[in-house]
A and B are shown apart, each in its own frame.
Chain A
Amino acid sequence: MGFLSKRRRHKAAKPLAIVLALFLMGALYSLVSPATQSRAETASAEQVARGKELFQQTCSSCHGMNGEGTTEAPTLRGVGAASVDFQMGTGRMPMARPEAQAPAKRTLYTDEEISAIAAYVATLGEGPAIPSADQYSGEGLSAEELARGGELFKTNCSACHNFEGTGGALPNGKYAPPLTKTSDKHIYEALRTGPQQMPVFAKGTLKDQDVKEIIGYLNTLHAQEDNGGLTLGGLGPVGEGFWGWIIGLGGCVTVALWLAKKGARAR
């Protein structure tokens, strides 16, 4: 006690205390975060069995009893747990009806059920696993890293998903969905698994660090204020022209109507 209290005003005391606190935080985090990871990695046989049961109820009519694929839907061998987590976590699967592209909707399955199915599908063939937070979290990046994320985003993603991540059109009724409400994990999984017509951005060419920077950029972009007022939908010049006519010319004409109108007469 005397040892500590005597040195509490020492020059190094504050930095040391901070280091100690950081260490404790990290240790605490490591107790929590690998737990989620290990659950995904080492699925129990029980979970796989439950997943298989669910799979056969909900997925097999299109993907086949053992996920081998049918004329209706592709094989799930080798798509990995990440793919299941993305498709079911965003409500795209199971599809409500056959159409050009499965839309995102509210998912009807609990996290547990999805993990079970993911665990089962992962046993069908090797594929990307569900990522852990340290693979995709865009937290704590420097300004330069975020700016680089922006460059990566505009080089690889904005052609389809638009500069604000509000989505865009693809041929024959398909579209790139908006990214404004997509979770970090789902963005990571989409990049790695290439859902539907989206290409795969493989780990070897787009490193986890790159993905983190993209996600960090998007989150910062969406969280920052709109410096110039209302965004008008973030559609670019089409929206701007529309509002220019409606508010700009419409406003001027409204005043012009009042200006040129003869007022009420007393008699």
Chain B
Amino acid sequence: MSEHNGLTPRPHSGDNGAGAHDASTAMATVEHVGPIADPGLPHEGPRYTDVNTSAGNRAYVQVLGMLALVPLLAIAFVVCYFAVPKDWVFDYGPLHSNALHLSLGLTGGLAVLLIGLACIHWAKQIMNDHEMVEMRHPASSPAEDRAAVAQMWDEGAADSGLGRRKLIGGALVGAVGTILLPVVVMFADMGPHPGSGLRAATIEKTLWAEGVKLVNDVTYEPIKASELEIGSLVNAEPENLKDEHGAQFVREKAKSPIVIVRMEPERIKIPDSRKDWHVAGILAYSKICTHVGCPISLWERTTHHLLCPCHQSTFDLGDSGVVVFGPAARSLPQLPIAVDGDGFLVAKSDFTVPVGPSYFERDSRHDYKKGDN
């Protein structure tokens, strides 16, 4: 005790008797062997508001004043709600904003803030501010309680008959365990099961097919090969997308967008296997990043690089869409295209590999790799 600054007692510390539990360990706290004895709580003098009547009154008036402003602001809030037209605009300095919104935020916010400031001011200046000391109790139960509980447990266990008929316990655990199985199985209908057939019909297939016209996204205007200048970029969709509706439209739109670019054929690498996939340097690539599926269209005309704004994967469209930078691991799928009789761009087939991010069952052996021919 003497080394412990002698300030406070340690309840239970002498009581180290009954029970398997070592109460002194449970309660052991840090021995403060500091070189300087605890001088005890410092004395704090009174505040100005305690000794000076006018200072006290001033604090009183301040608290009352803040609280009195609250009803005024609340009324102002209601008045603004009904009186300020929705289309009024407040324009002063950098603030160029809806007047109704601002007035509600200002009046309501100040009203609520003032309640809080008034309470804190009251607590700091008017309420008794002498600190109090409360003794702690150990988080652990007293040793006798532990002993009592252990005894109760033993009695209960004996009453249950589990000591002699052990199987009941195991059977109960097994029964509760197996009842979880139906609970888990109940969730099996959360979604369709992506076996190979369903995968082939969903995430491995897009609307592109032989003869489908490449059309401008948004306007659905077909694209004439002759209208594309060198350095052009067109964000495009399959023409049959407009036949889709609702959820299916969004699903298809999440897979089929493409970017069409025109480059000088002699300045890009076209592998032999893809010689007839382009029309005079016009190439079409999936717009869906092979990393996590963001639509990419940051195309640099000068370097032929296509950058994803989400995670900065960069693909070289002048080299069959190989990755040149960033976290994406696979080339951007290229769409084989041709021109129809009227000079419009059409697809020659669907993509030859699944578009979009990787998944476990994806057979990635057929993706274009740098240096393939």
A226, B52: Cβ atoms under 8 Å?
no
Shortest Cβ distance from B206 into chain A, in angstroms?
18
**Interface residues of chain B: helix, strand, loop or mixed (majority):** mixed
B228, A170: Cβ atoms under 8 Å?
no
Which residue of chain B is the closest to A226 with respect to CB atoms? B97
Contact of A204 among B125, B228, B231, B309 (CB under 8 A): B228
Select the residue from B217, B228, B233 with max chain A CB neighbours within 10 A. Answer: B233
Contact of B228 among A202, A229, A255, A265 (CB under 8 A): A202
A266, B217: Cβ atoms under 8 Å?
no
A264-B48, A266-B51 given as contacts; is B231 within 8 A of A151 (CB)? no
Q: State A263–B231 Cα separation when bound (angstroms).
A: 70
Interface residue total, chain B, C-beta cutoff 8 A: 57
Interface of chain B residues 201 through 249 with chain A (CB within 8 A): 216-219, 221, 223-224, 226-235
Residues in B whose Cβ lies below 8 Å from that of A265 = 44-48
Residues in A whose Cβ lies below 8 Å from that of B307 = 170-171
**Interface residues of chain A: helix, strand, loop or mixed (majority):** loop
- Interface membership of B297, Cβ < 8 A: yes
B50, A201: Cβ atoms under 8 Å?
no
B297, A197: Cβ atoms under 8 Å?
no
Residues in A whose Cβ lies below 8 Å from that of B309 = 159-160, 168
Interface residue total, chain A, C-beta cutoff 8 A: 41
Residues in A whose Cβ lies below 8 Å from that of B233 = 156, 199-201
Interface of chain B residues 255 through 297 with chain A (CB within 8 A): 261, 295-297
- Interface membership of A25, Cβ < 8 A: no
Q: What are the interface flags for B87-115 relative to A under an 8 Å C-beta threshold, 1 for contact and 0 otherwise?
A: 00101001111100110010000000000
List the interface of chain A (C-beta within 8 A of B).
148, 151-152, 155-156, 159-160, 168, 170-171, 174, 176, 194, 196-207, 210, 225-230, 255, 258-259, 262-267
10 CB < 8 A contacts A-B: A159-B296, A176-B298, A197-B300, A199-B300, A199-B301, A225-B96, A229-B105, A255-B116, A263-B124, A266-B52
List the interface of chain B (C-beta within 8 A of A).
44-48, 50-52, 89, 91, 94-98, 101-102, 105, 116-117, 120, 124-125, 129, 216-219, 221, 223-224, 226-235, 261, 295-303, 305, 307, 309, 312, 314, 325
